[in-house]
Amino acid sequence: MTPLILALLAGAVAGVSLGALGAGGSILTVPALVYLLGFTPAAATTASLVVVVVMSATALVAHARAGNVRWRAGLLFAAAGLLPAAGAGALSARVPAAVLTLLFAAVAALAGVHMLRRRTPRGSGTVSGARAVGAGAGLGAVTGFLGVGGGFLAVPALVTVLAVPMSAAVGTSLLVVGANALVALAGRAYTAVHLDLALLLPFLAAAVLGAWDGRRLAAKVPAGTLRRVFGAVLLAVAVAMGASAVL
């Protein structure tokens, strides 16, 4: 199978995940770029940020039109993560590939477990400024360092920390992760990382189209079934990446 076909297929799978579940797309993007398309871990996390920015912006428009974005809460949460995202983004390219791979495997495992055990988070009814800053900063650092959007972290944090209704949490999380990813990408602007655009652009195009298919899939297949399937895939990816970094 040619690299171009692999890029299209992998991008479609990542897009379907994001469209169907609102999370998981970027976590599948990094291992696909590394193990299928030959990107280095540093290049893959940078390329993943490009994917996160474009896909978040695309999906955000649809959620905003439906009135499912809480702009004030989202901007507050994103603001706390901007500096950590920029700093972590600049630092990531200087970390050894094996360490970066192990850290990414740990986050992928966390995401997989979260999808397998996911329950609807309940808001506390109160907004804690200190907790909002801490959660926003943590999410920004994860986004910048590992190139993942962090939707699986952002949604419950928005519900429990900023009391955003669950109906608007996914749309608002797109604003947060998109802003963090954009700043993290700017933080990597001066690092010497080569991106193979001949493969990245087809991957990105397939991911955007896959996200629309994912929304239709979500209407036909029970959400619990989709989460379990993607959770199992993420756990398998985490084990494979962890093993490759150690061996």
DSSP string, 73-119: HHHHHHHHHHHHHHHHHHHHTTS-HHHHHHHHHHHHHHHHHHHHH--
User: pLDDT grade, residue 122 (50/70/90)?
Assistant: low
What would the two tokens of residue 31 be?
């291992």
Which residue from 90, 116, 155, 94 is spatially nearest to 238, judged by alpha carbons? 116
| Mean pLDDT over the full length of the chain | 80
DSSP run (H or E) holding 64: helix 41-65
Q: What is the pLDDT of residue 125?
A: 56
Give the model confidence (pLDDT) of 54-63 as tens digits.
Answer: 888 887 887 7
Whole-angstrom distance, CA of residue 22 vs CA of residue 167: 12
pLDDT of residue 8: 92
Q: Could you tell me the two tokens for 224?
A: 């619990």
- pLDDT of 205: 93
pLDDT digits 0-9 by tens, 160-180 = 777 788 778 878 888 888 888
pLDDT of residue 14 exceeding 90, the answer is no
Asked whether the predicted pLDDT for residue 21 surpasses 70, the reply is no
Q: Is 148 helix (H, G, I), strand (E, B) or coil?
A: coil
Residue 203: the pLDDT is: 94
The span from the CA of 59 to the CA of 32, in Å, is 22
Which pLDDT value is given to residue 201?
94
pLDDT digits (tens, 9 = 90+) for 192-239: 678 889 999 999 999 888 877 776 776 677 767 777 877 787 788 888
pLDDT over 70 (residue 33): yes
Of the two residues 46 and 132, the one the predictor is more confident about is 46
